[in-house]
Structure 1
Amino acid sequence: MVIGLTGGIGSGKSTIVKMFSEFENIAIYIADDEAKKLMNTSAEIKNQLITEFGEQVYINNKLNKPYLASIVFNNKERLSTLNAIVHPVVNKHLQHFIKENSNKDYILYENAILFENGSDSFCDKIITVTAPIDIRINRVIKRDNSTIEEVKSRIKNQWNETKKNLQSNYLIENITLTKSKEQVLKIHNYLTEKIS
């Protein structure tokens, strides 16, 4: 069983993933981390990125993140091109991970753009992490040293909360750690049919 976990920027997905990681018989796949690794290790991705964005996209065989970011930031077309190169390889990698972990109770698949890139199609259930917009903005400003404008523009690039919430099976309102932990445990119990 694959359980998608998503949420807007600043909703606190990483915190929730950490809470899930305390359960023994589940496997966790974090799309963003795996994509970063694959961009440095997959020959298929490397070749396509060099063809598309030029030789400078790698320095000493390492992804030149600032260079790539400067190209795709605020350019939806170039960002789509990047995603079209990276996502299929990540999806293949995920399918392999699912097979390898088929003995687990479920696989938690964390992806910030789960709906936006169509990855929700191979999830059995979906959890969306939410938080009031002002809390989300403050978290991102603290975390990334961003300005309010930068955060708002990043939020604008993601699906709106209502749209995500309507397509989710479970919602976790992530405001206080205690409340979030209770919600995580409840969902885990449902998923593993240990309903108390």
Structure 2
Amino acid sequence: MIVGVTGGIGSGKSTVVNFFLELGNIAFYHADIEAKNIINSSVKVKTKIEAFFGKEAYKDNVLNKKYISNIVFHNPESLKQLNAIVHPEVKKHFKNFVNQHKNKEYILYENAILFETKSHHTCDFIISVYCDLKTRISRIKNRDNISENAILDRINNQWKEDKKLLQSNYLITNFAQIETKNQVNHIHNILTKKRKLI
């Protein structure tokens, strides 16, 4: 059983995932981290990115994040192209991961752009993590040390919150950790019961 975890940047997806992982025999796949690994290790992906964005896309064989970010967060078509190069490879990698973890209660699949990349089609259930915009901006500033304008560029390149929530099975509001943990426990209990029915 595959359970997608999504939510806007700064909503606290990692916190939610960590609470889930405390509860049982659960596998975890972080699409963003795996995408970064693939971008830096796959010759096929690197060749395609350099063909589209130019040789400056990589510096010392590692993706030049500053260069790429300046392009994609101001040009939706470029972001679309980058996703079209990277995400099919992530999907293949995830498929292998699922095959290797069939003995788990379920697999948590964290992906900030779950709907944007149509990865929600691979999930049995979807959890959206929600937090208000002001708190999200504050968290990202503290975590990434970037400007508010840069944060808003990233947020504006993701689906709006209400659009995600309408297509999700469960919602976790992530403001206070105790409340968040209680919501996670409740959803975990539901998921483990559903797992027995599948």
Name the SS for the 2:10 alignment partner. Answer: coil
Q: Paired residue for 1:156?
A: 156
Q: What's the CA shift for 1:54? A: 2.1
CA distance in 2, matches of 1:57, 1:46: 9
Gaps of 5+ in 1: none
Q: Paired residue for 1:10?
A: 10
Going from structure 1 to structure 2, the CA distance change for 1:56 and 1:143 (only over 3 Å counts) comes to same
Cα root mean square deviation, aligned? 1.6
What's the TM-score once normalised by structure 2's chain length?
Answer: 0.91
Q: What's the CA shift for 1:173? A: 0.5
Q: What's the CA shift for 1:152? A: 2.8
Name the SS for the 1:192 alignment partner. Answer: helix
1:172 is aligned with what amino acid? I
Query: Percent identity over the alignment?
Result: 53
Q: Paired residue for 1:186?
A: 186
Q: Paired residue for 1:77?
A: 77
Superposed CA offset, 1:101-125 (max 9, x none): 1111111000001111111111000
Q: Paired residue for 1:133?
A: 133
Name the SS for the 2:97 alignment partner. Answer: helix
Matched, 1:119 2:119: yes
Q: What's the CA shift for 1:129? A: 0.3
Aligned residues: 194
Superposed CA offset, 1:39-65 (max 9, x none): 111122112112222223223322222
Superposed CA offset, 1:109-153 (max 9, x none): 000011111111110000000012222222122222233333333
Name the SS for the 1:29 alignment partner. Answer: strand
Name the SS for the 2:146 alignment partner. Answer: coil
1:91 is aligned with what amino acid? K
